[in-house]
Amino acid sequence: MLAAARQAVLVPTVPTLYQPLRQEVDKRTNADARMCLYLASLFTAAEEIQRNLEGGVSVVVESYFARCLASHRALGAQLGVTLPAWLPTPVTYQLVCADEERRRRITARNKPTSRWDSLLETVTDQVTDDYASFPMHRIDTTGLSPEEVLRVITATDTQGAHPHGDAEPVGAHPHLLPAVPRRTAGTRRP
């Protein structure tokens, strides 16, 4: 809906070529391996995002590096990640809702629940805490229909974002989204 409203292309953050591998990795228990798969798929998607932005085409994705990093850290991944400077800077919206409504929505989804989905439900506070390190527009969707959420998003001030996205590197505009917090490889998160 957002892509249509913004006349943008919707880029999947797990491209089709990664889907069979995603299914296999999701059957396993290694959070670092899963994080690597998701990072690889995001880098592939980022190349497509960059091509679209350079061509003047707006882009919408359902998730980006902040979600991958926050989720996998909460799941126990220990990898230190330094993102390259060429990554497009997103205008990010974090859609939140009351816990009871979130559980109801998850139950109503027409998709199988993976082991990882179940594990994420046990660490939601950790994911939320990690998301706090990424500036984004937080939108409470409790009690709102998808159409109402779309109206809130499209009415949100994107702080000077270019109508076709921002092809400058992550961190180039600290008021939109600073560089992902850096950790030295091999160090543990407190």
Give per-residue pLDDT as tens, 27-44: 999 999 999 999 999 999
Percent of residues, the chain, with pLDDT higher than 70 = 82
Separation CA 139–CA 97 (nearest Å): 8
Q: Which two tokens stand for residue 132?
A: 């706090």
Residue type, 26: D
For the entire predicted model, the pTM comes to: 0.76
* Total length of the chain: 190
| Cβ proximity of 134 and 66 under 8 Å | yes
pLDDT of residue 71: 95
Name every residue whose Cβ is closer than 8 Å to that of residue 149 and which is 6 or more positions away in sequence.
95, 139, 141
When mean pLDDT is compared across 51-60, 108-117, 136-145, the lowest value belongs to 108-117
| CA geometry: angle 100, 105, 110, nearest 5 deg | 150
Backbone angles phi, psi at 57, to 5 degrees: -100, 125
From start to end of the chain, where are the E strands? 9-10, 59-60, 88-89, 93-96, 137-140, 166-169
